[in-house]
Structure 1
Amino acid sequence: LLSSFLASGEASASYGISATDVPSERDDIDLDVFTLSRDLKFLAIGAAASVGIVAFLTSQYRGNIHQPCRIIDSPLSLIQKSLTDEQQKRLPYAPDALEGARDVATPFGSIRVYEWGPAEGKKVLLVHGISTPCIALGGLAEELAQKGCRVMLFDLFGRGFSSTPDPASQPQDIQLFTTQILLVLSSSPLSWTGDGNRFALIGYSLGGGIAASFTSYFPNIVESLVLIAPAGLMRSTRIHWTSKFLYGGFLPRKLVEYLVWRRLGGIDASSSASQNAANDENKTTPIQAAEQETPSHPALAPDSSAQISARRPSVSIANVVAWQLHHHAGFVSSFVSSIQHAPISAQHDIWRRIASCQNSVIPSTQRLLEGKVLLLLAKDDNVVIADEMSQDAQSALGSDAVDIRVMDGGHELPVTDAELVAQTILDFWN
């Protein structure tokens, strides 16, 4: 604007001012001031308009560019840099806890995968639960491998040694977990899919909900489905209204994560007591009140003191969860996001889709080999109630498409009774 204004050489004429309009020296001075004032006003307006247009176009341009999801690293690289091999072995979850470890680089961050067993054996993929990494299913995988299976496990995003795509922009929903399973399968040196290859899928707890959903979309690559104390059909009556409020998006995300962090053991009771004692007015703060009312969502049930594996009898499930809580920067946000978005409840239509694929008119390449799902439940499970799940599974799948076994034990059934669970699964396959 300024360049065109100066280039014209007719600034005064452009405002209707001619030389004959200047009768005296004083009038000439007044005219100069008037002209300069008007010039500055026009320049200011032009500059402001230009800045506004540039700002608008820039915001639109940036808004149309996809911003990559922030990746939160797992503790693996720090452990490998700062601890000796002997120190690493003493961790609740050691990097070499299971055989055949590999770290798979993906657009969502690194995924920790384990794979071992006879290359020609029956291929079995295991998916763990919401809080413990895949080491929780290590004992079961070892039992199956000893019986000739080719097993593969992996840490879900935000657990163990897998990175975390920031849940603030990438929720932990079935889309993410489906993608992760496909990435894991593609990382194997063996062919798990294609050319007639299919594999057995075992899902435990949250992993059960994930496995069922995956099977409903990819029946052509899953030949057998085993669900152990699975999520997916959890009744809404089991979720307190305060849980629905806490995870319903009504509170700031960071506050919810903080409350869950405390509930999972982020700060011990003595620390909380000290903080309460320090309250001079003996009043309950909003945060303290919220902590006291942090709901008993089934996923927040106390972690078991049972040993994580026969190899590590001194390490419990709770030890591993506590280790993640303090050393995996993406664990709590992943945990919360999974409760909010993962297939934990209301998956009846998904399960019905699995049942519909068992119809004889469906090509055999899309039917389960056994023609039904194996559902393993525990009598003393206070997370997935055996009686309720039995009723709901039969309602969704139909009695002909599900084989239900209720076994002694609690929610940690595949961890504490890996040998018995493995034998039950093998008998079902045979």
Structure 2
Amino acid sequence: MEQWVRRNPFTLPIALLGLQLGLSVGRKLYKIKTGGPHDEEVVRSPIKSLLPKLSSEEATSLPYPPDAFPGIRDVVSPYGSLRVYEWGPEDGRKVLLVHGISNPCLVLGAVAHGLADKGCRVMMLDLPGRGYSDTPVPTPHSTRLYTTTILLALASSPLSWTGNNETFALIGYSLGGGIVANFTSYFPTLVSSLILLAPSGLLRQSRITLMNKILYNTGLVNEITLERLVMRRMKGEGQPTSPDEPKEKPSIDTALREEMPQKREHDLFTPPVLSRIRPEAKISGIIPWQLDNHPGFIKSFLSSIRYGPVAGQHADWQRIAQRLTAQNASGEERYEKEGLQNGKVLIIAGHRDIVIIEDELVEDATEVLGEKNVRFEFVDAGHELPVSKSKEILAFISAFWEEKSSTPV
């Protein structure tokens, strides 16, 4: 036997791979035929799995305190409980902010507070499987789920966000950029302006390694094994990036590390206040906290990679471009009332981002949206720009709104 293996070194691995593939297909066929033993399930967030075990003092000292922002509500839905925050003047410009793939909405806290200071009514939510939102399984974390999530959050407000010709601004960061672009492509009359921060959606396939595609997309690796592998990789991430690090192909979980502020010797970086209620809250400890305390976090992360708007979203962006082109060509007054009143998409990104590369972003977004339909602004930051450059982002947003609107911001 040993001599046969030495003469045929590739036969056994191929046979094992075939067995694994056969088992995987068999499990899928079983689910198609019978519906599977757990066709629909909700994995509860730390609200149920952790908070009941903690005192109030222990809860407020968590990396992501449960009362980090005003206007807390937990929205009950068929997809589980959804954590939403909403505050600011009731008659102010309405703004919904959507975070990225790994950190909950705390990552956008400094931007949200700044908008509220300018008189905006802001809303943030934890996407499914992040922070204090439950995880629906095996529901794919695709644009369909995320569109439903946004609509659930809007419908739960005591104010009208979509009725009586109401519109609201959408700000999406990283994966959230892909999510809000997709939402806007289908509901442009609801969106007063679209602002994307280092957005996903147009990430080039050449920047996703072959190993990433095999592990995260084909199902050749047992799901439990894969979850454990990814958890170990995530716990090893989070180290500061070298200032001279080349723009390499990002690993599938590079975004986790890059959503945290990177300390560089030449930077005089002061961590921003993300939560004014709990100013000690910091992004740096949230991913390990989710890994240890949110049973659905890994499942949501993997599902977002597989089904979310990471790459290949050109059709969504083209629908936005068609709307803007028609709007800008006609100049009809009705467009000024129905949505996308600014006539452009504002994209803000970082010069040093190794996930969303500046040159590629400008080339690809300009090609799909059209030069007249997009404005780019850049800050001296990496992928963590909403945390490290919130003041600059707020200035760009204010200037963008003031250009075509007399509404105070």
TM-score bracket for the superposition, by shorter chain length: 0.7 to 0.9
| 1:83-122 alignment, distance < 5 Å | 83-122=54-93
| 1:238 is the counterpart of 2:207 | yes
- 2:319 is matched with 353
On the 8 A contact 2:177/2:201 being kept in 1, the answer is yes
| 1:261 is the counterpart of 2:231 | yes
Q: Distance in 2 between matches of 1:268 and 1:400?
A: 38
Q: Secondary structure at the match of 2:69?
A: coil
Deviation at 1:64, TM superposition (A): 8.1
* Structure of greater relative contact order (alpha carbons < 8 Å, 6+ residues apart): 2
| 1:319 is the counterpart of 2:275 | no
> Matched residue pairs, number?
345
Q: Secondary structure at the match of 2:386?
A: helix
Displaced runs of 4 or more, over 6 A: 64-67, 266-269
Residue type at the aligned position of 1:309: V
Identity %: 46
- Equivalent of 1:377, from 343, 349, 353? 349
Q: Distance in 2 between matches of 1:236 and 1:404?
A: 22
Q: Deviations over 1:168-221 (max 9, x none)?
A: x20100000000000000000000002110000000000000000000000111
Q: Distance in 2 between matches of 1:402 and 1:396?
A: 10
Residue type at the aligned position of 2:114: E
- 1:15 is matched with none
Q: Distance in 2 between matches of 1:227 and 1:112?
A: 22
Residue type at the aligned position of 1:369: Q
- 2:3 is matched with none
| 1:344 is the counterpart of 2:310 | yes
RMSD between aligned alpha carbons?
2.5
Q: Distance in 2 between matches of 1:152 and 1:133?
A: 13
Q: Distance in 2 between matches of 1:111 and 1:409?
A: 31
On the 8 A contact 2:234/2:253 being kept in 1, the answer is no
| 1:69-218 alignment, distance < 5 Å | 69-166=40-137, 169-218=138-187
Q: Secondary structure at the match of 2:230?
A: helix
Residue type at the aligned position of 1:251: V
Q: Distance in 2 between matches of 1:341 and 1:267?
A: 23
Greater Cα radius of gyration, structure 1 or 2: 1
Q: 1:321 to 1:251 in 2, by over 3 A?
A: same
| 1:395 is the counterpart of 2:367 | yes
- 2:390 is matched with 418
Deviation at 1:250, TM superposition (A): 2.0
Structure 1 residue runs of 5 or longer lacking an equivalent are 1-58, 270-293
Q: Distance in 1 between matches of 2:273 and 2:188?
A: 32
On the 8 A contact 2:102/2:130 being kept in 1, the answer is yes
Q: Secondary structure at the match of 1:104?
A: strand
- 1:329 is matched with 295
Q: Distance in 1 between matches of 2:187 and 2:37?
A: 29
The TM-score, its normalising length taken from structure 2, stands at 0.79
Q: Distance in 2 between matches of 1:267 and 1:295?
A: 11
